[in-house]
Each structure stands twice: as structure tokens, then as C-alpha cells.
């Protein structure tokens, strides 16, 4: 249902996650791709949304028409304010 694109910043963040986390993230993203099921999400402003996990993990993304999602950045609840600000900067940089 959805095509998921990624930023370099997201790819760098994902590579630094442990194998268990990478598997959990990929499983969640596969549900979005195949079924359009996003799970728990929240609009954090300025076209940036977040996937939320109970563990505190966050993935920030934006949605563009034609069923495409761009994964911008990942993080966790402890650094959420900083991560959201960074996600907004990355989004603006990539919209040029």
C-alpha cells in the first residue's frame, strides 16, 4: 500500500541500532507497506509525524501524496525534543 523512502540520516541511525531493534523496526514498517497499518502515531507539527513504541523509540516521518512515506530520523523519548527539531531541519533540507 505504501512506499517508504529514507533519508541518509535515518539510514545512519538505523545502522546504529542493535539487531533486535532493527528487526522490530522493519516489522513495523512492513505493516505500513503491506497493510497501511501505522500503529501508534502522533503529529508533532510542521508536517512531521512520529511512530511511537512503548519502549520510547521514535521514528519521525513525513507523508507525501501517492502513498509515499519518507523516514526522516529515529530516536527515543528521552531526546524527543531535539530529535523532532532535527527531523524538521532534515525535512526542510530535503524539500529543496
What CATH number does the domain containing 63 carry? 3.30.2310.20
Residue 94 pLDDT greater than 90, yes or no: no
Residue 67: pLDDT band (50, 70, 90) is confident
Alpha-carbon distance of 30 to 37, in angstroms, equals 9
Supply the range of the domain harboring residue 33. 3-94
Alpha-carbon distance of 90 to 72, in angstroms, equals 7
Return the H-helix or E-strand segment holding 89: helix 80-94
Per DSSP, helices labelled H in 2-79 are 8-15, 19-35
- Distance set, CA 66 to CA 3, 18, 53 (Å): 9, 32, 26
Residue 76 pLDDT greater than 70, yes or no: yes
Q: How many domains does the chain have?
A: 1
* Per-residue pLDDT, 96: 62
Q: What average pLDDT score do residues 23-49 get?
A: 94
Alpha-carbon distance of 37 to 39, in angstroms, equals 6
Q: Does residue 75 contact residue 58 with C-beta atoms inside 8 Å?
A: yes
pTM of the model: 0.83
Amino acid at each position: 500500500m505504501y512506499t517508504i523512502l529514507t533519508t541518509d540520516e535515518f539510514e545512519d541511525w538505523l545502522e546504529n541500532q542493535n539487531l533486535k531493534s532493527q528487526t522490530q523496526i522493519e516489522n513495523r514498517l512492513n505493516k505500513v507497506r503491506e497493510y497501511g497499518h501505522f500503529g501508534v502515531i502522533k503529529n508533532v507539527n510542521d508536517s512531521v509525524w512520529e511512530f511511537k513504541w512503548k519502549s520510547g523509540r521514535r521514528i519521525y516521518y513525513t507523508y507525501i501524496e501517492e502513498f509515499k512515506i519518507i523516514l526522516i530520523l529515529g530516536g527515543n523519548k528521552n531526546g524527543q525534543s531535539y530529535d523532532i527539531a532535527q527531523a524538521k531541519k532534515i525535512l526542510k533540507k530535503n524539500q529543496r
